A and B are shown apart, each in its own frame.
Chain A
Amino acid sequence: MKPESTHTDEHLSEIDIAAYIDGVLSAEERTRADRHLSMCDECRLETVTSGDAVASAPPIKPRSRSASLWLGVAAAAGLVVVAASTLTRNAADREIVRADSTSLPMNRPTVAVVTPADGASLAREGRLVWRSFGADATYRLTIADESAQPLYSATIQDTSAALPSSVQPSPGKKFFWYVDAIGSDGLTASSGLKSFTVE
Chain B
Amino acid sequence: MERADVTGWPVNGLSPIFARPMAESLPIELDRLLRASDDVARAKAWAVFLDTYSRLILHAARSATTGYDDGMDAYAAALDGIRAEDYRKLRGYSVDPRSKFTTWLVVVVRRICLDKQRELYGRASSAERNAGVVSDERAARRRLANLTSAGIDLDSIEGMAGSAADEVVRAELCEALESSLNELSERDRLLLTLRFVDDLPAKRIAEVQGWPDHMAVYRRVNQLIAELKTKLRARGVDSSIP
Contact = CB atoms under 8 A, between A and B. Distances in A.
A50 B106 contact: yes
B106 A146 contact: no
A91 B9 CA distance: 17
Interface stretch (B69-77, B108-116, B231-239): B108-116
Interface residues of B, number: 79
Contacts of A54: 102-103, 106-107
A31 B187 contact: yes
B44 A185 contact: yes
Contacts of B102: 54, 57, 60, 92-93
Interface string A140-158: 0000001111000000000
Nearest to A58: B55
B186 A21 contact: no
B6 A148 contact: yes
Interface stretch (A12-20, A108-116, A126-134, A162-170): A12-20
B110 to A, nearest CB: 6
B2 A91 contact: no
A58 B105 CA distance: 13
Nearest to A69: B28
18 contacts: A21-B103, A23-B210, A30-B187, A34-B187, A35-B189, A51-B207, A52-B63, A53-B60, A60-B53, A80-B9, A80-B16, A80-B17, A83-B13, A88-B18, A90-B28, A92-B102, A147-B6, A148-B4
